[in-house]
Structures are given as structure tokens and as C-alpha cells.
Structure 1
Amino acid sequence: MSQQKYVYHYTSMKGLEGVVKNRTLRFTDHRFLNDYGEFVRPYETLKKLVDPDIKAMLSDLYMTLNANYSLALFCVSQTCNSLAQMRLYADDCKGAAIVFSTDIWSSASKNNGHIFNTVPLWGTPDIPIFKEPVFTPLESCEYEDIEQYCKKVIKNNQDFLNQLQKFNERKRNLKDLSSSEAGQLFKFLFDIAKWKDKSFNEEQEMRSVALIPKEELFFEGRANDIRPYWEWKTQGNNLDSLILGVILGTKCSNNTADFLAYMLGSSRYSGGYSPQIEWEKEVASSMFDLVKPTYNYFCFKQRATYQ
């Protein structure tokens, strides 16, 4: 986990509504991201750099994964005041950026559901891992030349690639993989998924990657596609512990603050609690405008000289 304390999820008003009403965070299938090639490009590049027999196995493995699972991503930025990301990901500044605490995210995972209904990343020999959704902590993307990055992934996963043939016969039933094999496979996929084109470097993205059995997916119709996704469901109102604040886009109505106060308002938010107060003092108060009502001071609005 990066030492970054605060991260920001830029989203539309519909996305913000879904998070606070349903207490869920959405992981989107990698084939339906804004940039379709963010996993596909490094995967295809990596195949060109390995031996032909391993290349064939990796091709089969990818088809098997897509037929039975969804490799899905949840993305955040380490940049808190990005007009460009508000425009691109938050409906041209009509949406918002949700502020998350990486410390609390990490603690939730380590406590195995003490705060959230997390799924352990590693199974046991008697309980294969891929029968249920699994996902990683947030880690920073790497902005490198794609071929150099893939060479690094190959080096870091050489043992996995050497052993790939051993479970090749079982590749169509990944739920039967041992805990060790499943762990190696998931690490390999996560390493590939952390690559991002250098032209997006300013976004300073972090990602959590999930592998979801097909029967656990939801589907949403869009203007030109039907998008598969998975929702990480939090316990009760404990999403409030993860959300430190909401930054409204410059075109977002200030009335949104009343909705957030109603959905997220509590004695915790009225009086403040340590991580939220720290973010407000270290970041928010100097960079954003406080949105009334003042008792619900976790809601701010992005400043901009133009829209």
C-alpha cells in the first residue's frame, strides 16, 4: 500500500448517488473502462515477449477468464484538485470527487471485515479462492514504456510463468486451483493491470483489482453497450468511515450538500472525527470552498477560474 493518505474517486452525480445510497463501491469490468486497452494492451505485449508455448497458454487463460469471470477495477486518483478529471470522469464538472482514506481501506482489509465485508485475498487448500469475489488493496499505477513494463512483469512473475503448464489442464476450472496457484495467478493479473499509458501520468491513479465469478456480476445498460460490474457491499453505515469528504464540481448544484447531509449525516460528521478533521485541515480548507450547511462541513466545492 502506498503511503498516500487520501485518494479521490471522480464520478458523475449518478455514481455519487449510488455510493451513498447503496453503501457500495463499483468495480467495472476491464473491457468497459474509458480506455479499453489499459489491461489488454500490456497483456498482448507481454505475450509477444515470452516463449511460443507460454504465449499459447496465456491466450487460453485470458479466454477462460473472460468466459467465467470478470477482471474488474476500481480507480482513484492521488490528485485532489483536477479540473481535467472533473471534466472527463465527473460529467464535465457536474459530478464530484469522493475523498477516501487509504489508511481506513487498509485497516478494513487487515481486520478481515471488521469495518467492511471484505473477502480474504488468499484462500486455504480446502477452500479454493475463486469461488467468491477477491480484490486487492489500492496500489499505484505505473506509467512506463509498455514493453519495458511488461519485461519487468515477466521477471517478477517468472516462477508463475514457469509453472503455468502444470495447471494448464485445469485452466478451464480455475476454482480448483490451489491457494498457492491462485495467489500466483492473481498477482500476475494485478501486475499487468497496474500499467497505464504515460500520457495519463497527471492523473496519478491508484487501483484495486477484483476477480469476480460471472454469477456475482450485475449489468447496466448504457447508451451504446451493456456494462458488467461488481458492487462491494459495505456493512450498514460504515462506508461513512471510509469517506472523508465530497468535493463538488464547479457546475454541481450546492443543493447536493443537503442530500449528502441527509444520507451521510451523523453525530460523527456533525462533530467530526480524526481522519476527516485531518483531511479538512491538511487539504480541504485551503483548496476548496466550504458548502453550507456548515454543520456538515465535509462537503466542499472545487474552485475554478473558468468552467
Structure 2
Amino acid sequence: MNDPLSAEPDLIKDLLTKPIPKNLWHYTSYKAFQGIVESKQIFATDLRYLNDSQEFVHAKELAQELADEVVDSSAAGVVVNGMLKKAVDLAFNTGPLRADRLQVMVASFSNARDQLSQWRGYSGASSGVSISFDLSKIRPPLGVETAVVFAPCVYELSEKKALLQRALSHMVGVVAEWVQDVQEAIQSDPQLLNKIKNPTEHGSPYVNGLDLNARLRQAMTKVNFDLVRLCPLLKDSSFSEEREWRLVLPISAGKQLQNPIKFRPTSNTLVPYIPYPLCGPDEPAPVNDLILGPGSHAEAEAATFSFLQSKHIMVKPQTSKVPYRAS
């Protein structure tokens, strides 16, 4: 069976293979900066503990809304009615995106080099650092069938809807193709319609690839795979200033991990995370630029430069140009 979407632009693939910028920034504290450089690892944190309370909820609501819209415009008509709603419900409520079946770990970076809101939000008000990394090797190679992705977040509503519609259209396309195949088969064999309506009386009617359930299972696998990769990248537009890129690491429940999940304390909970390697064990951390927060100590540039040199990183830090200092 041919993929009904094979001739259309693959918006999801285009997003997940966008060229990685030379500089992507990570705002953090001096303590965390030291740990990243020395361990050559970044913490990928459970998505449910991030500062956006609508993580995944936003994507689910959009998918539910689109299920109605796609059904209304579907050429498959009555056959498709309700099927996408069921597919979205299966994916998010009982399927692979349910919280107790999938844990999504995220490491965040930004296209913003020296941004006030990032200093305030992620680096101790103004006394942390903005680390730029060369992350050209962090994405899984093309052709590797994995749910791990490294891509920019999407904030624009129309783009988010187009991406989700592409994912859900696997289902619509399969049903529409099935309806067409059945109509053509019935024209050749008028008795086929009665066989389909009464399978127990006539035996298996699903000849010539007309088994809808088998096609739906195959389509649902594609829908789930796309949603697992896509949904962690869909952010509310109020976060657009962050210009975030995400390393997304989905973990199925019960999966044995090479790097086991660890926990770090905050003021009100323990946060699950995975230390994720930024480079090989014999390479220096891929730091290619460094901005010190506007509230840094007067001698921070000298001390930080010496520290980087001791780790074989030839980068000269600069102090932020943002005229801000926390009181």
C-alpha cells in the first residue's frame, strides 16, 4: 500500500531536520556551568517539571480541536467521523503519550545570545552565565528510526496546527484510500459489500488488502510516532521570546537505560533528570562562546577564562551588555 501522504511536503521532517545553528545558548548558574564543563554533560529534565504548566496539555488540546476540523473536511466522510477523535484519545489518554507510559526528558537551549528575560528566568536573576555550545553532533543521524529529536520549538499557532494536521492525516489518508479501494472493488464484485457487512456469515471478506483494521493499526503507529516527536516542541506563544531549541528524549515505562534517571531537589519537590553527554569522553565540552551575567563579580571574566583554559577550552568570556543588575 502506498503512503497517501508521500507526495505532500513532510512538515514534520522539515522541522526535525532544520540546520542546527552554530551557536545555541544555555542560561544557567555558575555552579551548573562548572558542572557542565567538568562532566561534559547537560541535564535533560522531565518535561512535567518545567516552567510551562501547559506542556503537552497545549498539544493535546490542539490535536483534539484539529480532529474535528480534519473530519469536517475529509473526503472519506462518514467513515472518518469520530475516528480521529478516538485516535487522539488513544494517543494521549491510553496510548504512548500517557504520563505513566512515557517520560519525556528535555534539555533546553536558546537562539538568544544575551537576553534579559533569560537572565531573569534561568541564571539567578543576573549572576549566572549564558553558555554557547556547538551542538552539530547531538542530533541522531538521518535514517535512524528514533523518537529522540533535536529541533526548534514552534510557537506560531498556524504552524503548530499544520504540523499536527500532518501527523493526524496519516489516519485520514488511510481511511480515504480504503473507501476508494472498497468502492472500486464493489464495482468489480457487487457481492463484496454484503460480505463486508456480514463477515461471520461469509467468512473473511478482507481480500485484496481491504482490511480496514489492519490499515488503521499501521496508520496509528505512524500517528503515535509523529506525536511523540512533535508534541514536546509545541509551546505556547507567550514563550516565543525564548527562541528555544530542545533535545527531546522520550523514555517508555520500564525501559532499561544506559544512563539511569536521577533526581535533584528543589524547594518543593524532587525533579527527575538524565545526565546527557555533550561530546565524547576524550573531548573537551563543546563550549564555543560564553557570556557572563550582568550581575557577575568584577573579576569573573578572569576567573572564568582560567577555568576554561584548565579544561582545554579556548574561549574568552565576555560580560553581558544588558544594563541590569538584580537588587
- The two structures have a TM-score, normalised by structure 2, of 0.64
Q: CA offset at residue 155 of structure 1? A: 2.4
The one of 284, 292, 296 equivalent to 1:248 is 292
1:155 paired with 2:177, answer: no
Partner of 1:89: 122
Partner of 2:35: 18
Secondary structure of 1:157's counterpart equals helix
Bigger share in helix: 1
Contact conserved, 2:294 with 2:321, CA < 8 A, in 1? yes
CA 1:182 to 1:14, structure 2 compared with 1: closer, same or farther past 3 Å?
Answer: farther
The one of 54, 57, 62 equivalent to 2:90 is 57
2-structure distance, mates of 1:151, 1:36: 20
Partner of 1:143: 155
Contact conserved, 2:26 with 2:110, CA < 8 A, in 1? yes
Q: CA offset at residue 250 of structure 1? A: 1.2
Q: CA offset at residue 78 of structure 1? A: 0.8
Q: CA offset at residue 17 of structure 1? A: 2.5
Q: CA offset at residue 191 of structure 1? A: 1.9
CA 1:154 to 1:265, structure 2 compared with 1: closer, same or farther past 3 Å?
Answer: same
Partner of 2:108: 75
Flag the structure with larger Rg: 2
For structure 2, which runs of at least 5 residues remain unmatched after alignment?
A: 1-17, 68-83, 175-212
CA 1:20 to 1:62, structure 2 compared with 1: closer, same or farther past 3 Å?
Answer: farther
Q: CA offset at residue 24 of structure 1? A: 0.7
Deviations for 1:234-275, whole angstroms, at most 9, x for unmatched residues? 4325253x2102211011234475356336535562xxxxxx
AA paired with 2:303?
D
Contact conserved, 1:141 with 1:206, CA < 8 A, in 2? yes
Partner of 1:282: none
CA 1:182 to 1:238, structure 2 compared with 1: closer, same or farther past 3 Å?
Answer: farther
Partner of 1:31: 48
AA paired with 1:154?
L
Partner of 1:219: 263
Contact conserved, 1:244 with 1:298, CA < 8 A, in 2? no
Contact conserved, 1:20 with 1:264, CA < 8 A, in 2? no
Q: CA offset at residue 9 of structure 1? A: 0.8
2-structure distance, mates of 1:257, 1:186: 48
For structure 1, which runs of at least 5 residues remain unmatched after alignment?
A: 113-119, 123-128, 170-177, 270-296
CA 1:59 to 1:193, structure 2 compared with 1: closer, same or farther past 3 Å?
Answer: closer
Partner of 1:288: none
Q: CA offset at residue 200 of structure 1? A: 2.5
Partner of 2:4: none
2-structure distance, mates of 1:38, 1:54: 20
Q: Give the root-mean-square deviation of aligned CA atoms.
A: 3.4
Contact conserved, 1:136 with 1:210, CA < 8 A, in 2? yes
Partner of 2:19: 2
Contact conserved, 2:133 with 2:287, CA < 8 A, in 1? yes
Identity, in percent, stands at: 21
Secondary structure of 2:234's counterpart equals coil
2-structure distance, mates of 1:58, 1:42: 12
AA paired with 2:155?
Y
2-structure distance, mates of 1:167, 1:226: 43
